[in-house]
Structure 1
Amino acid sequence: MLGLLDLFTPTAPAWPTEDLIRVSGTSRSTCYRYIKALQAAGLLTPVAGGAWMLGPRIIELDRTMRLCDPVSAGGIPPMRRLAAESGHTGLLCLLFSGTVMCVADAPAPGAPAGLFSRGQRRPLFTGAASKVILAHLPPHQLRAIFARHRATIEAAGLGGDWESFRHALRAIREAGHGITQSEFMPGVLGIAAPLFNAEGGVLGSIGIAAKIEEVPPEARQALARQVVEAAAEACARIAEQEQSAALPARAVG
């Protein structure tokens, strides 16, 4: 039932009932039940022509996510400050189901069209925002990822064998940040640093995206230090959010 929500995209925002039945792989009566349940929950809403679109409950859930998610609540202020001080687009990203999702962005004036923005997902192997997360995953997860995606990893320049892959990720960890250019979008430079929870598990990344010509090579390390500083602040704020969330209700406030 929840898989029906995945059908709604910017290129296909409305789906007639008959099309939902056709692609659902279920019987007509079962799909009708699914649609009615999603409508009752506010996740789907009817529109003209017997079609359906995503419902207003999703907007409410999005607001709750912005206010309560530790990565959003802890990372957005440093991300916005990083964007303002650097003059480049700020990005806050989260590890999500084998991909990287942008949870917040602060576009710079004149930023290239089509930059990573809230709600978009990208693969783990392309771009600084993704690679710094990948580099800090536990070894057993990395082994499984390498076994499943060896060809993609090699095409991304991260090594064609396990030792080369490990070496590439170790270099990112030792640097404390990642810098890429023209990997996901031509002409775009990305710089990102990882975000961790209180136990040291990687959650996501914070960084900037800029036109390559606006950041000469000699200026990139200074910009990387700004990104790392923003990440440190975000991690501290995330840890505070997690501690508050873990307290019993009577102890809050």
Structure 2
Amino acid sequence: MPAKVTLQRLAEMKAAREPIVMVTAYDYPTARTAEQAGVDMVLVGDSGAQVVLGHDSTVAVTVDEMLVLSGAVRRGVRTAFLVCDLPFGSTEVSDEQAVATAVRFVKEAGADAVKLEGGGEARLSRIRAIAEAGIPVVAHVGLTPQTAVALGGLRAQGRTAESAARLVREALAVQDAGASVLVIEAVPADVAAVVLPALDIPVIGIGAGSADGQVLVIHDLLGITEGRTAAFVKRYATIGADMVTGVAAYASEVRGGVFPGAEHGYAATDEAVEAARAELEQLRAR
């Protein structure tokens, strides 16, 4: 079995310029898929609110729901570094609330690290408090879906002078606050490239050009997600279409009397059949 991926290993990969591979997972089967594929990091993202639970945005998912998803993924992951998103509303009140939530993900779900979005003053305080409690933090700047409304919607960041300057400022600030890893989402590659050399921690990109690693939602890359996906998504399979084809074929065979066939059942002895008949006759005679 490969060695467990740790923060030290991620730092070594960054130093050696060895690309870090990260995907999301939200249940045991997808966790096993990620593990068997040999990815380095698995994120239980609050994007599970949309791709697994059917909500319109990430803000609807609760701590308890995220803990259920995270626990299932933990049982499927052995070597990959497991990161769990702290959902909206679970860290905003105070540093104490944030630490308490982070502790739950470590104790109840086995998280190796927790992820927080944003790089404003309040978020820096939360990152600092959680890190000081001994829990590794993955920071997230650029497009932050939990607060997308304040950013004008789910749109790329760093495309104006003000936004680009804020990205640089927040990226350096979360590192200084104690974040161990940084995710940069939906930022022009040229803008992200400005700040990358100034960061000592591993940087994972998603729609932000080349970084120390990349992350994609597993449902997106496997072609399970319905409808339009973000510009930064590349599909590597068509599992969603294959699933529909498979279920439709099953439904057709059931309706046509083809399935189940004799080969899909179990053999019984004549004695067992006769005993069943005798029992039925006896019950009917009462």
Q: TM-score, normalised by structure 2?
A: 0.27
Pick the structure with greater CA Rg. Answer: 2
Q: TM-score, normalised by structure 1?
A: 0.30
